Amino acid sequence: MERAFRIGIDTGGTFTDVVALNEATGEIVTTKTPTTVDDPSIGVAAGIRKVLDLAGGGTVTSVAHGTTVATNALLHEQFPALGLVTTQGFRHVLEIARQAVPKGYGNSYFWVKPERIVPLHHVREVPERLDVAGGVVRPFDEAVAVEVARWFVRHGITNVGVSFIHAYANPEHERRMRAVLERESPSVHVSISSEVLPEYREYERTVTTLVDAFVKSRVAVYVGSIQKKLDDELAPATPFYVMKSNGGVISAHEVARHPITTVLSGPAAGALGASAVAAAASIERVLTADVGGTSTDVCLVEGGAPELTTEGAVGRFPVKVPMIDIVTVGSGGGSIAWIARDGALKVGPRSAGADPGPMCYGRGGDEPTATDAHLALGRIPPRLLGGEIALDRDAAERGLARIGHAIGLDPLRAAEGILEIAAWNQANAIRQVSVKRGLDPRDYTLVAFGGAGALLAGRLLDLLSLRAALIPVSPGNLSALGLLVVDVKNDYVQTFVQRHDRLDHAAVNAHLTRLRELAREALHREGFTEDTMRFVRTADMRYFGQAWEVRVELPPGEIDGTTAAETAARFHDAHEKRFGYSYRDVREPGVGRHVVEWVNVRVTGVGPIRRPCFVERASGDGRSERAVTEQRPVRFEGATRDCAVYARDRLRPDDVVAGPAIIEEYGATTVVFPGLGARVDRSGNLLMTRASGTHR
């Protein structure tokens, strides 16, 4: 019988990572192929062929893909042909924005608000007005709407966001505006806020809607090109899913309806893959660090699942859709070392990227990077990806000599300094998701992955006094594996601001019923049957007078006096866990700040997808020296040590590697620092801890 594989594909700036999962045996095959920037579908197709060849052939039953198309479109901050339609009198909503100032007012005397996502002359107003409950204060003026649509046509505006005041409470006017736009210009891409983000807070709702409108055509073209490759050359009619920011996937034919949901597609897959690996290793409290060529993405995992947030941003733009709560810092393998005006050595956030890349790649890069430092210190081999990419150590050392001369250090000391700064940059990102939230990193295990994650994991273990660092099998491909451990998910939200003591139970239930039906219809379009669907109901709540909310899961059944009281109790618990206090037992009459307020209700529809099983391996004989391939001089703390280099695929469960040592595999290298040891667990993960009796 021919073997069947589910395939996960994560497209990065340099490489496209591919994982194939044998559905019958749980066998996992991984590989990488160069990303084809001009047409990523070519690299995707090449990756699928390559991984199937490595697996010995087979059929493809489904493909899941992580994409950075929406993210990159935002980060480039160029938004041609984008327009906004808003309520008459609210033309300047993007200028007003929020009062937040970077680094506080004291350090920002000369700060000027950056350019808005849509220039003022591309903002058009239409007479109409709703009240906060959705009642019509001023009727929709269709004649003016037609004039606005024709103005956009004359000026070449092909992407339009529609965000009317209080449209979250009544979508009728926005739907009529969309109909006018599409009638006057059938090729226009329109997003309306009442479908993208039916929540209050006009600025965030408007920006999120504009982002959705701008990326709609780009995501549709990108996904369509991959779908065509699959249908024409590889796997006709095979289900094709795209990763969403919320930790779920969506089918390719649905993604064009809600492209904003893919804005953090790649990092979300990595966090979920790390969560699955940690859960299989019976580790509940985890900090994940996905270290690639440009950045490090950090996430906190409690109880097997990363936290979600709706207060995320991409670059400087707020994107209020549910997404995995990830903190990103510009510290990766390609991060450039440079000298600041005060003479201090800095690393990142600027990156050499894939082209030209680090100096050692020999593609014209002329600034030293973290990768050049690793090579000069002997921590990575002279050839990467099993010999596919040769590295130029002389070029790396020339760059390090130049920057070392500027600060009075020899090249190798400069290299050590670069990596120490890079490690501290990553440590500070981890502190943002732990210490900043009142959590102690010493209670957590670090799951380090990505192409460069295992290089500094041991140093992070010491800097943060972590319990351990876990390096999964094929860490460079973990994001692609993460695509195979997630369900289909669709999120729906409705703003409903009411005090808890005056809560209209019937209205809450009506909103929840409507949202559940929207989620059910979406899952039905995805091919799920009623008996397989699952629905998660949550509410965003706060104390009266607070600006931001805490999300809690609603109890089962209809909302009545009992279930509403249980929801309020859950809110008190969640608020105390996050902020260290609650007003649970305060009974002072007339004190408004102690009153609980409901703000949004949400329903998430879940369509379960079969998850992979992590196959346990047979124990070895405890003789890790069988995996030694060579001895190599490696520099640590100013001294060169003769280190054993291990081939990871020759290590067996219960083998122990004492530091200092280097463990190499296709796509990644693990550095076991002096004073540390690495043990292989039953799934093949490396668990790095301090050697007995050492603490640094």
CATH classification of the domain holding 59: 3.30.420.40
What's the pLDDT score for residue 687?
Answer: 96
Is position 185 within any domain? yes
Question: What is the strand order of the sheet 628-636 is part of?
Answer: 628-636, 639-647, 661-665, 668-672
Q: Are residues 67 and 153 in the same domain?
A: no
Answer whether residue 512 is part of any domain: yes
Residue 67 has, within 13 A of its CA and on its CB side, a CA count of 35
Q: Could you tell me which of 325, 326, 322, 256 has the C-alpha nearest to residue 604?
A: 322
Q: At what angle do helices 172-184 and 142-154 cross, to 10 degrees?
A: 40
Quote the pLDDT of residue 657: 95
pLDDT at 552 over 70: yes
* Nearest residue to 385 via CA among 645, 664, 643, 662: 664
**394 plus 494 within the same structural domain:** no
pLDDT band of 331, cuts 50, 70, 90 = confident
Q: What is the pLDDT of residue 381?
A: 94
| pLDDT of the residue at 696 | 39
- pLDDT 10s digits, 638-678: 999 999 999 999 999 999 999 899 999 988 999 999 999 99
> Could you tell me the pLDDT band of residue 219, with boundaries at 50, 70 and 90?
confident
Quote the mean pLDDT of the chain.
Answer: 88
Amino acid identity of residue 452, one-letter, is A
pLDDT at 260: 85
Which one of 235-239, 304-308, 530-534 scores highest in mean pLDDT?
Answer: 530-534
Does 561 fall in a domain? Answer: yes
**Tens digits of per-residue pLDDT, 153-166?**
999 999 999 999 99
Among 1-5, 167-171, 355-359, whose mean pLDDT is lowest? 1-5
* Rounded mean pLDDT, 345-371: 89
Where a domain ends, among 588, 607, 626? 607
H-state helical runs in 325-410: 370-376, 393-407
Name the domain count of the chain.
Answer: 4
If asked whether residues 128 and 224 sit together in one domain, one would say no
Residues 116, 28, single domain; the answer is no
Q: Which residue has the higher pLDDT, 312 or 178?
A: 178
Q: Which residue has the tokens 């879940």?
A: 606
- Residue 236, burial from CB neighbour count under 10 angstroms (0-12, 13-18, 19+): exposed
Task: Estimate to the nearest angstrom the gap between the alpha carbon of 182 and the chain centroid.
Answer: 33
Tell me the C-alpha to C-alpha distance, in Å, between residue 203 and each of 82, 134, 161, 649: 17, 18, 13, 52
Q: Band of the pLDDT at 694, cuts 50, 70, 90?
A: very low
User: Does the pLDDT of residue 591 top 60, yes or no?
Assistant: no
pLDDT at residue 15, as a whole number: 77
Find the range with the poorest average confidence among 145-159, 209-223, 224-238: 224-238
Q: 11 or 658: which carries more pLDDT confidence?
A: 658
Residue 313 in contact with residue 319, Cβ under 8 Å? Answer: yes
**What are the tens digits of pLDDT across the range 389-445?**
889 999 999 999 999 999 999 999 999 999 999 999 999 999 999 998 888 999 999
Q: What pLDDT does 693 receive?
A: 42
Residue 141 CB: number of other CB atoms within 10 A? 15
658 found inside a domain: no
**Lowest-confidence region among 99-103, 112-116, 356-360, 401-405:** 99-103
> 669, 641 in Cβ contact below 8 A?
no
Closest CA relative to residue 672, chosen from 685, 661, 681, 683? 661
- What percent of the chain lies above the pLDDT cut of 70? 94
Q: Let me know whether 42 and 102 are in one domain.
A: no
Residue 75: pLDDT over 80: no
| Residues 135 and 147 reside in one and the same domain | yes
Does the residue 272 lie in any domain? no
Q: How confident is the model at residue 100 (pLDDT cuts 50, 70, 90)?
A: low
Per-residue model confidence (pLDDT) at position 101: 63
| The pLDDT of residue 28 | 86
- Domain membership flag for residue 161: yes
Check whether 593 has a pLDDT greater than 70: no
Are residues 96 and 51 located together in one domain of the fold? Answer: no
The mean-pLDDT minimum among 82-86, 127-131, 450-454, 620-624 falls in: 620-624
DSSP codes of every residue in 532-587: G-EEEEEEEEEETT-SS-EEEEPPSS---HHHHHHHHHHHHHHHHHHHS---TT--
Query: What DSSP state is assigned to residue 234?
Result: I
Asked if residue 13 is part of any domain, the answer here is: yes
pLDDT for res 695: 40
Domain that holds residue 170: 79-215
For 169-178, what is the mean pLDDT?
A: 96
Could you tell me if 211 and 125 lie in one domain? Answer: yes
**Whether pLDDT at 29 is above 80:** yes
User: Distance between CA 647 and CA 632 in Å, rounded?
Assistant: 13
Residues 523 and 579 reside in one and the same domain: yes
Phi, psi of 67 (to 5 degrees): -130, 150
Give 232 or 677, the one with higher predicted confidence.
677
CA distance 259 to 159: 13
**212-226, 446-460, 603-617, range with the lowest pLDDT:** 603-617
pLDDT at 599: 94
Can you give the pLDDT at residue 463?
95
Are 224 and 244 in a shared domain? yes
The beta strand positions in 256-390, using DSSP E, are 285-291, 296-302, 305-306, 308-309, 313-314, 317-318, 323-324, 326-329, 335-339, 345-351, 383-384, 389-390
Statement to judge: residues 530 and 583 lie in one domain: yes
pLDDT at 536: 95
Give a yes or no: residue 638 inside a domain: no
The verdict on 84 and 162 lying in the same domain is yes
Q: Which residues pair with 600 in a beta bridge?
A: 495, 540
Beta strands in 120-264 (DSSP E): 123-126, 129-130, 136-138, 159-163, 189-192, 240-243, 249-251
Q: Which of 583, 607, 631 is the last residue of a domain?
A: 607
| In contact, 149 and 185? CB cutoff 8 Å | yes
Least confident of 315-319, 567-571, 629-633: 315-319
